[in-house]
Structure 1
Amino acid sequence: MNSADLGRRVGVPSTALFTDQYELTMVQAALKAGTADRRSVFEAFTRRLPEGRRYGVVAGIGRVLDAVENFHFDDEMLTFLREQNVVDGPTLAWLADYRFSGDVWGYPEGEVYFPGSPILRVEGSFAECVLLETVILSILNHDSAIAAAASRMSAAAGGRGLIEMGARRTHELSAVASARAAYIGGFNTTSDLAAGFRYNIPTVGTSAHAFTLLHDTERDAFRAQVDSLGRGTTLLVDTYDVAEAVRTAVEVAGTELGAVRIDSGDLLLVAHRVRQQLDELGATGTKIVVTSDLDEYAIASLAAAPVDAYGVGTQVVTGSGQPTCSMVYKLVARAGSADPSEPLRPVAKKSLGAKSSVGGRKWAARRLDENGVAEAEVVGTGAVPPELAGRQLLVELVRGGEVIAREPLDAARERHIAARAGLPMSAVQLSRGEPVIPTEYM
């Protein structure tokens, strides 16, 4: 990873109140008890993948780095905390000087993960690390869920174009984060201009049915769009009669028409009919874009259709039925003081059932078979076996409170393509199943 800027990071507000109150009250109690400075290690991981999913996708690391860098309490925030009696005076004074000064290691963005993978490791004093829990989980749980859905859709699309167009189906800020995560997962473009501005994601868009309905005739609408945007534009052809619209579109734009979009009906049948009609009219280079509540299953069902690109909205920005990854952020090791020479000792929650954790500061590596295909996610707390030393997954992200690993978004996108290609072929099957490789603890 390099230090290239992730995107436009202008106007980023403080992230300090994107947190739960108990993070601050824990700090207050730890300060009073004299334990707040104990050297600690927290890890973000998930105990299981969403039901039926075979791999997860790490997304949001770049946004986490922004959140850590901008986690500080200004005067207005401190006044709010004082007036609401959230914490006491000594804690307010401590918060006023807060800047994260520890280290962060993690899976690079775009990498795949599995149950138990130590996706993010945060090291520093207990107080400074625990404050970051909520904002880290908020970002990773959301973005990784979107990226996983996008990855499944990308695999189903088989190299055809994918347009993220879900801004109107989610919160306006979530829409920007969703477009970013979808791009990492394999989408090519977004309709959301804020995402394009902030993260340099290619943006697309032409017109909706309202534009056709505005005009006296469909021909008038097509003429207005072509005159404004050129013959390479995409014309929406299902406002009235599709066959008539396609004929009119080619008459208006000529055989150089860029694309037509179909947003309703039996997409498989209509796409075949439209392709035949376009070819008969001489518009053999005109592409077909389909939209209309698509998900990975609908995309897969259109594999035999003459479709060039898919526009996906609701399902990608909601994780295609899995809007969170159930990641947790747990203390896994701590010392008895702030002394860096004092050894860390493993700690872990030992609950009954599925909520227990594995203690200790962890490393992770991916073991490959003789063909170079992943066969296990190996997680350990001791020495890394020599044969896995070159396959370690965690990279240094923050050192001494300074972010050292920003990278262009395209690097994460390319990494994901390579990581997914390195999994067994069954990883991209849409049938429900267990994680495609097991997690082994050492």
Structure 2
Amino acid sequence: MSTASTSPSLLTDRYELTMLTSFVTDGTVDHPAVFEAFARRLPEGRRYGVLGGLGRLLPLIEAFCFEPDEVDWLLAEGVVNEPTAAYLRDFRFRGDIDAYPEGELYFPGSPVLTVRGTLGECVMLETLILSVLNHDSAIASAAARMVTAAGGRSGRPLVEMGSRRTHEEAAVAVARAAYVAGFASTSNLAAGRRHGVPTVGTAAHAFTLAHRTEVEAFRSQVAAQGAGTTLLVDTYDIAQGIRNAVEVAGPGLGAVRIDSGDLADESAAARALLDELGATHTRITVTSDLDEYVIAALADAPIDGYGVGTRVATGSGHPTAQMVYKLVAVGDEPGGALRPVAKKSHDKISVGGRKTAYRTHDEAGLIVSEAFTTDTTDTTDNTPLDGTPLQVSVVRGGRVVHTPTLDEIRDHCAAALATLPPTALAITGGSAHLKVQAAPQPEGAPR
């Protein structure tokens, strides 16, 4: 068994290559095709989704090719036949992709990503596209709800600190997606190095327990980090911990962290004690299995910031984004005209034809509706619908042409969330704010 690093091309399901082998064998591999990624529905109780992961996905697609030893392995394992192995040795995606910008809102039926190319190259991207977009969109959607509960980006800051609760590489993606949705920082250093997410971190309970006394532990930390550090005060007794912290750092202590107990009661008692000790500007940060519901319940507590781990980094905090990737148009010969195709399966119906989505807003800038045209109703010279087109060009000829900075993506997400009315931002369960519909076909349009 090899321990070598895996290229993006093998981050896929075997059935993609099973289909590809058939396409190569029957001669349809170079027929034109259009695939779309979308969510048929949102997770139960969710009112909107936030698209995450596009900035991670596009470089992976650009780098999607097969190394010679990988092709040899696929051939030896019987995954592909000789003609398909020859096809893979020269493989890279050379098509075009349009997508909603990362950080944009999506709803049931939103065509968040459209892939155009040959049947062979488009089908090969399915697993990679869905694994990235489903994971990061689930994180971003959950994180956005937590940010809203904390008062938005101008409210109480949130630190993402779930690295110890998930896969080591997933942790980096979690930190990035949470930052896109409005978290202020992360504890994950790889996310800081790779993506530029601000990093923070002080000490765990083990640090306190490693010293003979809590005071000795605090002295060590303050000596190394300065009085502006955050001291964890609940290892033994919170009230005494706060007294020890102020004794060591003085009234200029940056912050205390509470990681246990009734956080509303403990933070209120901590604020009163800090003020009594003259540490009136010392902040209070709380952690301990927080999510949007707990954060909302703590809205009136004297808390200055939150650290969120398990509930943003694992499935307990974010149901799947439920995105799928479906063929919507295909040609019957290389370079031929496209014909719409669609699934008719019960509860899994899709709409055939390449789609162009538009969103309308009211005078206050709030979302009113979203609809799409298909290639049977779209026109080249005129916008067929009122509203703003949602997709942008992200890949042309296999090369990435859309490279916003992470902070630009983050700002786009904040602006998108600001277009939701208060009812759609509510964290209580509810139905999707809207469902994306096909626009009525104009008179005389082919059906």
Say whether the fold is shared (TM-score over 0.5).
yes
1:388 deviation in Å? 4.2
Matches of 2:204 and 2:368 in 1, distance apart? 47
- Listed as ranges, the matches of 1:165-180 within 5 Å are 165-180=161-176
Report if the CA contact (8 A) 1:350-1:356 is conserved.
yes
1:262 touches 1:290 (CA, 8 Å); kept in 2?
yes
Preserved CA contact (<8 Å) 1:54 1:427: yes
Tell me the residue number matched to 1:435.
432
**Aligned twin of 1:346:** 340
Quote the offset at 1:113 in angstroms.
0.2
1:290 positional shift: 0.1
Deviation sequence 1:299-358 (CA, Å, 0-9, x none): 00000011111000010012544342111100001112221xx33111011112x10100
Give the deviation of 1:383 after TM superposition.
2.4
SS at match of 1:222: helix
The amino acid across from 2:207 in the alignment is: F
Q: d(CA) in 2 for partners of 1:411 and 1:320? A: 29
After the TM superposition, which residues 239-318 of structure 1 pair with which residues of structure 2 at under 5 Å, given as runs?
A: 239-318=235-314
- 1:383 matched to which residue of 2? 378
Query: Unmatched 5+ residue regions in structure 2?
Result: 440-447
Of residues 112, 117, 128, the one that matches 1:119 is: 112
Answering whether residue 326 of structure 2 is matched by residue 330 of structure 1, we say yes
**Residue among 342, 358, 366 paired with 2:351:** 358
- CA distance, structure 2, for counterparts of residue 401 and residue 389 of structure 1: 31
For residues 383 and 322 of structure 2, the distance between their equivalents in structure 1, rounded to whole angstroms, comes to: 32
How far is the alpha carbon of 1:387 from its aligned partner? Answer: 7.6
Q: What are the superposed Cα offsets for residues 101-121 of structure 1, whole Å, 9 maximum, x if unpaired?
A: 000000000000000100100
SS in structure 2 at match of 1:52: coil
Matches within 5 A, 1:78-157: 78-157=71-150
Do the aligned residues in 1 keep the contact of 2:103 with 2:412 (CA within 8 Å)?
Answer: yes
Aligned-partner SS, 2:85: helix
- The alignment partner of 1:355 has SS state of coil
Rounded to whole Å, the distance in 2 between the matches of 1:434 and 1:148 is: 15
| Aligned-partner residue type, residue 35 of structure 2 | F
Q: Contact 2:75–2:85 (CA<8 Å) still a contact in 1?
A: yes
Count of residues in correspondence between the two structures:
429
Asked if 1:372 corresponds to 2:369, the answer is no
Structure 1 equivalent of residue 27 of structure 2 = 34
Partner residue in 2 for 1:198: 194
SS in 2 for 1:16: helix
What's the CA shift for 1:389? 5.8
**Is 1:118–1:364's contact at 8 Å kept on the other side of the alignment?**
yes
Asked if 2 retains the 8 angstrom alpha-carbon contact of 1:366 and 1:388, the reply is: no
Q: What is the CA–CA distance in structure 2 between the aligned matches of 1:380 and 1:321, rounded to whole Å?
A: 35
Residue 295 of structure 1, CA deviation: 0.6
Question: How far does the alpha carbon of each residue in 1:175-209 deviate from its partner, in whole angstroms, 9 at most, with x for none?
Answer: 01111111111111000111111101000000000
**1:6 match:** none
Cα displacement (A) at 1:390: 5.5
- Aligned mates of 1:246, 1:280 — CA distance in 2: 11
Quote the RMSD (CA, aligned, Å): 1.4
Say whether residues 1:71 and 2:67 are aligned partners: no
- Please report how far the alpha carbon of residue 67 of structure 1 lies from its aligned counterpart in structure 2 after TM superposition: 1.3
Q: How far apart are the structure 1 equivalents of 2:210 and 2:314? A: 32
CA distance in 2, matches of 1:378, 1:147: 23
Mapped partners of 2:123, 2:386: distance in 1: 30
Q: Which residue of 1 aligns with 2:409?
A: 412
Report SS of the residue matched to 1:363: strand
Q: For 1:409, give the aligned amino acid.
A: L
Q: For each residue in 1:135-186, what CA deviation from the matched residue of structure 2 results, as whole angstroms up to 9, or x when unmatched? A: 1000000000000000000000011110000000000011011111111111
Deviates more, 1:274-283 or 1:107-116: 274-283
2:373 and 2:134 map into 1 onto residues whose CA distance is 23
Any conservation in 2 of the 1:58–1:111 contact (CA below 8 Å)? yes
Tell me by how many angstroms 1:441 deviates.
1.3
Instruction: Determine if contact 2:185/2:197 at 8 Å carries over to the other structure.
Output: yes
Structure 1: how far apart are the matches of 2:258 and 2:270?
9
Q: What percent of counterpart residues are identical?
A: 58
1-structure distance, mates of 2:116, 2:383: 25
CA contact (8 A) 2:47 2:433 kept: yes
Change (3 A) 1:440 1:236: same
Cα distance in 2 between the residues matched to 1:434 and 1:17: 37
CA contact (8 A) 1:146 1:319 kept: no
Given that 2:43 and 2:319 are in contact with CA atoms closer than 8 Å, whether structure 1 keeps it comes out as: no
2:373–2:384 CA contact under 8 A, matched in 1: no
Quote how far apart the aligned CAs of 1:32 are. Answer: 1.3
| Shift of residue 82, structure 1, vs aligned partner | 1.5
CA offset digits 1:74-128 (Å, max 9, x no partner): 0221121011111101100100100100000000000000001001000000000
Q: Is the Cα–Cα contact under 8 Å of residues 186 and 197 in structure 2 kept in the other structure? A: yes
312-321 vs 59-68, which moves further: 312-321
Unaligned runs of 5+ in 1: 1-11
Paired position in structure 1 for 2:444? none
Q: In the TM superposition, what is the alpha-carbon distance from 1:411 to its structure 2 partner? A: 1.0
Identify the match of residue 401 of structure 1 among 389, 394, 398.
398
